[in-house]
Amino acid sequence: MHNKLQIGIIGCAKIAVKAVMPAIVESKTSRLAAVASRDEAKAREVAQQFGIEKSYSSYEAMLEDPEIDAVYIPLPNHLHREWAIRAAEAGKHVLCEKPLALTPEEAEEMVRAADKAGVKLAEAFMYRHHPRWDRIRAIIAAGEIGELRAIRGAFTFNGARMDRGNVRFRSDFGGGSIYDVGCYPISAARLITGLEPEAVSVHAQFLTEFGDVDMMASGLVEFGNGLSLTFDCGMLASYRNFVEIVGADGRIELEHAFKPTDEGTHGFTVTTNGERREERFAPCNQYALMVDDFARSIWGEQSLRFPPEDATRNMRVIEACIRSAKERVRVTL
């Protein structure tokens, strides 16, 4: 038996307060031990909301707390590198929001810092911890839908009413639809195929008022042998998040692929030989499962399910997609 992992939260972003912090409370392995914000009142407010004993008015102060085992970083993308490295150097394990960094080079630097400090570094792609993805991979490996032919995915939402100061609209903060939601179908295609892309071609809509931040994007990610991912992502479109996996003999369809919402959306459908069946899963909190996997890797009970090197590889694809969209060229990897 282990004492619960003592997790500190660096920042009070919406994703932390609405999703990850409640998941830590629900988890079997971990405890919310502290929260830090540069806004002292905000830190106290969030601490009171979750019954957290400690709140800090600086990130540095929390990193100096010897009772904190690990930190979760939900900060804007451009701050991931700095605070992941500083946390690692302080001896804290790090669970960092996706995407791990702004560039592959930044991600590699973060991985090196964690390795040097002897701490775990994990990217918070929560959807991968839902058991249905293991089942999907098993169905594919068993050849039930035949050789993979194509993958289609999308993640969009309409942020037209969001405050224009939101970090998603700021290029200097790592804003844009590819960083924010396009990373999901890209990650999923790599997970499904077990392959790394050979080339990408992406077209994007850049709105003048937001400089070079991509508001909508659609792309082709080539895996070789004719297999590819076609995806779209955006911050000005009706809400969607789905994946379709097409094989020579059948297909798998996931409605609400990345964020299941209720009992009816935790499964997926498989169609083979003209027959369609539904694979069902009990509702679960995939954020809590992610936290538990993270804690158990720290305790040595299992390896990190998705090592940080995977995040570095995903960043290479994301960077290539953004370059393709900006330069309007096909980019090889």
pLDDT score recorded for residue 182: 98
Kindly provide the residue ranges of all beta strands, DSSP E only, lying in 159-235, ordered along the sequence.
199-206, 214-224, 227-234
Contact 288, 26 (CB under 8 A): yes
User: Token pair of 296, please?
Assistant: 């158990």
Contact 325, 214 (CB under 8 A): yes
Q: In tens digits, what is the pLDDT along the chain, a chain of 333 residues?
A: 578 999 999 999 999 999 999 999 999 999 999 999 999 999 999 999 999 999 999 999 999 999 999 999 999 999 999 999 999 999 999 999 999 999 999 999 999 999 999 999 999 999 999 999 999 999 999 999 999 999 999 999 998 888 877 899 988 899 999 999 999 999 999 999 999 999 999 999 998 776 689 999 999 999 988 999 999 999 999 999 999 999 999 999 999 999 987 655 689 999 998 899 999 998 899 999 999 999 999 999 999 999 999 999 999 999 999 999 999 999 999
User: Cα–Cα distance between 120 and 295 in angstroms, integer?
Assistant: 10
Task: Provide the CA 324 distance to its chain's centre, in angstroms.
Answer: 22
User: How far apart, in Å, do the first and last CA atoms of the chain sit?
Assistant: 45
pLDDT score recorded for residue 1: 55
Q: How far is CA 327 from CA 20, 93, 202, 321, 330, in A?
A: 36, 38, 9, 10, 9
* 3-state secondary structure (DSSP) of residue 138: helix
Q: Which helix (H) or strand (E) holds 117?
A: helix 104-117
User: Cα–Cα distance between 195 and 65 in angstroms, integer?
Assistant: 41
Write out the catalytic residue numbers. 98
pTM for this one? Answer: 0.95
